[in-house]
Amino acid sequence: MARLPSSILDYIAAQQNRHKLRNMTHILTLPIRDSYVTETSELQNATEEQIVACLEKSRDQVRSLETEKHVNFLNMFLSPDAPLPDKFTGLDASRAWLLYWSANAIRVLGGELSDEQKKGIPLTLESFKEDGVFGGGSGQDAHAASTYAAFLALADSDDEDAWGRLINPEEVLKHNLKLKSPDGGFASNVGGETDVRGTYCRLVVASLTNTLTTELTDGVIKYIASCQSYEGGFGGSPGNEAHAGYTYCALAALAILVPIREMDQYVNVESCLAWLSARQYQPEGGFSGRTNKLVDACYAYWVGASLVLINGAVHAGPSLWDRKQLAQYVLNCCQQSGGGLRDKPGCKADAYHTNYAACGIAMSQYIYFPEGENGLYWQATSCDGADTSICPVNPVYGVPLGVAERMRLYFTLKEENL
Ligand code: FPP
Ligand code: K
Ligand code: ZN
């Protein structure tokens, strides 16, 4: 192995001394400082300071999850008779998302959905149906992302009757095929952009409805592979900047298509792992979504689940990231006192960050093992001292283990009985 020049070793030692974080077992990205000041470097410094101040308050402790408060916060988004305040009008095209984020986060955090909430999910989604799939709200065009969110919210509702009533696998397949583009990608909507989010969202609903036909999947692996950037992570489409959100979509989509242990035959797993490792920052402990950007609690899932998938592929062991430091970032710095989880100190909690921070914690509190020939089935064992009130989450679907599997089984059996 090449030796690092002593100037860099001195630099690293100085940085470690600075934050008294010498006993590191993982290589975390150290802030690289030069004398050239930019808006980005100033923002990084200010964020780091704020987070260090927050971490110092709890010393070496990891705060526990304030589940009840978070569930109360999430209940607000699932209450049909108490409409959301005016400031939420901007989320009118994300109503399917709101249902998924809130219902899912409640379950992942170990809470329970009330019968009324479970019934409300299909009832609301019924009015979002469009062209065999779902729009973001009632009267809106069908979209890959809202369809994905609607399916997962329906899976979380456990309401099999509603699955049969609202989902017709043939129509789902027909819609997906209509949106497929010649390069192997999928458009998000009619006339919309083609990117790897579309690929992931469409493969998820296809796998849930057992409609992963060869016509649908032909050329898709090649499209996914073409999104990997020189950095190792994946961009939204070929030639774009590597970003953790798209990297997750690419790896999870690939895991639907190929045996998890064979992933390295299609994409560069090694460079992807190196890029994912560099997402964990020192001293913050959290993950960032891309090079030179700030840590954010939602990446506990986008990066965490990507690392779980990569670990399924290469079996590198449980230490691909520093779980304790990640937990300290998310739990000590991102729990809002009134409930909900947030991007970072100074931000307001929202349903999106609450869900993905919770799912990220679930990635970090368990070790996951792929089961069976493809990447759809997983087993989990809890890490030492883990908070097991939080559910293990399927790293391909982002719902508690067993939830997506049950919907997939439902449609498989239904087809066999036809
Ligand atoms: C950058 O925002 C964010 C993106 C470019 C999109 C990221 C994609 C996802 C989170 C995945 C979506 C997944 C599905 C299933 C649809 P930013 O510039 O505000 O954040 P950053 O500074 O952290 O990059
Ligand atoms: K962000
Ligand atoms: Zn975020």
pLDDT value of residue 33: 76
Strands 366-371 and 133-134, sheet pairing: unpaired
Whose Cα sits closest to atom 16 in ligand 1?
197
Q: Give, using CA atoms, the residue closest to atom 21 of ligand 1.
A: 289
One-letter identity of residue 71:
V
Distance 293 CA to ligand 1 centre (A): 12
In this prediction, residue 17 carries a pLDDT of: 54
- Asked whether the beta carbons of 44 and 294 are under 8 A apart, the reply is yes
Cα separation, 118 vs 101, whole angstroms: 14
Structure tokens at 72: 């109360």
Neighbours of 26 (CB within 10 A): 15
ipTM for this prediction:
0.97
- DSSP three-state, residue 281: strand
- Measuring from atom 8 of ligand 1, which residue has the nearest CA? 245
Span from the CA of 8 to the centroid of ligand 3 (angstroms): 31
The single-letter code of the amino acid at 122 is: P
The catalytic residue positions are 243, 290, 293, 296, 298-299, 343, 350, 353
**CA terminus-to-terminus distance, the chain:** 60
Q: Which helix (H) or strand (E) holds 12?
A: helix 6-18
Q: Which atom of ligand 1 is nearest to the CA of 302?
A: 10
Query: Quick count: other Cβ atoms within 10 Å of Cβ 12?
Result: 15
87 token code pair: 């400031």
Cα 81 from Cα 112, distance rounded (Å): 19
pTM: 0.93
**Residue 286 Cα, ligand 3 centroid: separation in angstroms?**
11
pLDDT tens sequence for the chain (418 residues): 345 556 555 655 655 554 444 344 455 666 667 889 999 999 999 999 999 999 999 988 999 999 999 999 999 999 877 778 888 889 999 999 999 999 999 999 999 999 999 999 999 999 999 999 999 999 999 999 999 999 999 999 999 999 999 999 999 999 999 999 999 999 999 999 999 999 999 999 999 999 999 999 999 999 999 999 999 999 999 999 999 999 999 999 999 999 999 999 999 999 999 999 999 999 999 999 999 999 999 999 999 999 999 999 988 877 899 999 999 999 999 999 999 999 999 999 999 999 999 999 999 999 999 998 788 999 999 998 888 899 999 999 999 999 999 999 999 999 898 7
Return the pLDDT at 31: 67
Residues within 6 Å of ligand 1 by CB: 145, 197, 200-201, 243, 245-246, 249, 289-290, 293, 296, 302
Ligand 1 pocket test, candidate residues 241, 246, 350, most atoms within 8 A of CB: 246
Secondary element (H or E) of residue 366:
strand 366-371
310: three-class secondary structure by DSSP = helix
Q: Give which of 317, 394, 319 is closest to 362, Cα–Cα.
A: 394
Strand partners, 288: 295
- Give the residue, out of 101, 188, 197, 347, with the most ligand 1 atoms within 8 A of its beta carbon, to mutate for a pocket test: 197
b/e sequence 51-80, b meaning 16+ C-beta within 10 Å? bbebbeeeeeebeebbbebbbebbbebbee
**Which of ligand 1's atoms lies nearest the C-alpha of 296?**
23
Indicate the DSSP class of residue 91: G
Q: How far is the CA of 384 from the centre of ligand 1 (A)?
A: 32
Q: Could you say which DSSP state residue 33 is in?
A: -
